[in-house]
Amino acid sequence: MRLLLLLLLLPAASGVRVPRWVLDGHTCAPPWQVALFRGGRFVCGGTLVAPRWVLTAAHCHAPGPLTVSLGRPSHRQVRPGEPPGEGGSSSSSATPPPGEASPAPGEQRRQVRPFRFPGYNESSKDGDLMLLRLQVPAHLSRQVRPLPPARTCAAPGTTCQISGWGSTTSPQVTFPQELRCSQVRIVPELTCRRTYPDSITPNMVCAGEPHSRADTCQGDSGGPLVCNGRLQGITSWGPGVCGDPRKPGVYVNLCRYGRWLQDTMAQN
């Protein structure tokens, strides 16, 4: 993981693996979206996939206890904090850390136990997924509802939804007041491989929008890619500058991990 300042200086080279935050989006409140905090600082997004389980990116793992926030009706205090395992950015102190305040009305907070995918490659970002077991199951409501992972892979051209609290501009950063959503489409595997030579594995899937700047960007890491009402992917990495229609975001291809997800949740 790189410091935010360094991320902003990186060129939009095809091989640059930059953790992601939603560009060209609108405010939204998907009930499965969660926020991960460490020491009161926002770290990553995630998805509630079962009453006791959250799915996020493996690169969101960090020393120290993680807390999951569910059902936040207002996200005005959520700001990206320090990247996992690194120092904080200059923006992290702009707002009081939400983890240090009392829970908002309707918000649930849970301590978690992490289960990082054992085949995760920190360099290539292959296998970039992690399950988090909630110490206390989520109380399900209209604002808090799980989204099951997809069992089959999405076809190229499928329209999907992305969401997160990341920057809404790039390369300059502008953090949104609330959670943002946008729509992207699944990119053919061959196009994805040509865009990022020697960087794409079968466990990754690209998604973008050829005629708009809709994209995840630095800070949306760990958040959901939702296709056909299922969790199809996890926001993983992308180029240094977001919103380039020629360079789609790269997501964990969850249809490749059904057995590990099922076994991990059943055995723990």
103-144 pLDDT, tens digit per residue, is: 666 789 899 999 999 999 999 999 999 999 999 999 999 999
Which one of 59, 75, 163, 170 is the catalytic residue?
59
The C-alpha atoms of residue 53 and residue 133 are separated, in whole angstroms, by 5
The pLDDT of residue 83 is 41
Q: Is 24 a catalytic residue?
A: no
In this structure, how many other beta carbons lie within 10 angstroms of the beta carbon of residue 244?
17
The pLDDT of residue 215 is 56
The pLDDT of residue 102 is 60
Token pair listed for 3:
């410091």
- The ranges of the chain with pLDDT < 70 are 1-26, 73-105, 166-177, 212-216, 218, 243
The pLDDT of residue 21 is 40
Q: Is 26 a catalytic residue?
A: no
CATH topology of domain 26-267: Thrombin, subunit H (2.40.10)
Token pair listed for 96:
């009081």
Token pair listed for 150:
């997809």
- Ordered DSSP codes for 43-56: EEEEEEEETTEEEE
Domain boundaries, the chain: 26-267
**Residues contacting 140, CB < 8 A, separation 6+:** 51, 146
User: How wide is the angle at C-alpha 18 spanned by C-alphas 16 and 24, nearest 5°?
Assistant: 115
The C-alpha atoms of residue 26 and residue 181 are separated, in whole angstroms, by 5
The C-alpha atoms of residue 22 and residue 217 are separated, in whole angstroms, by 6
Report CA-CA distances (Å) from 85 to 68, 138, 196.
Answer: 18, 27, 26
Confidence (pTM): 0.80
The pLDDT of residue 233 is 97
Coil vs helix vs strand at 179: coil
Which one of 69, 163, 170, 221 is the catalytic residue?
221
181: phi then psi, degrees, rounded to nearest 5: -125, 155
Reported as type and span, the H/E element at residue 8 is helix 4-9
Which one of 24, 126, 128, 220 is the catalytic residue?
128
Residue (of 129, 194, 185) closest to 155 by Cα position:
185
> Largest Cα–Cα distance in the chain?
48
Coil vs helix vs strand at 155: coil
Residue (of 131, 127, 44) closest to 83 by Cα position:
44
Q: Is 220 a catalytic residue?
A: no
The C-alpha atoms of residue 148 and residue 226 are separated, in whole angstroms, by 10
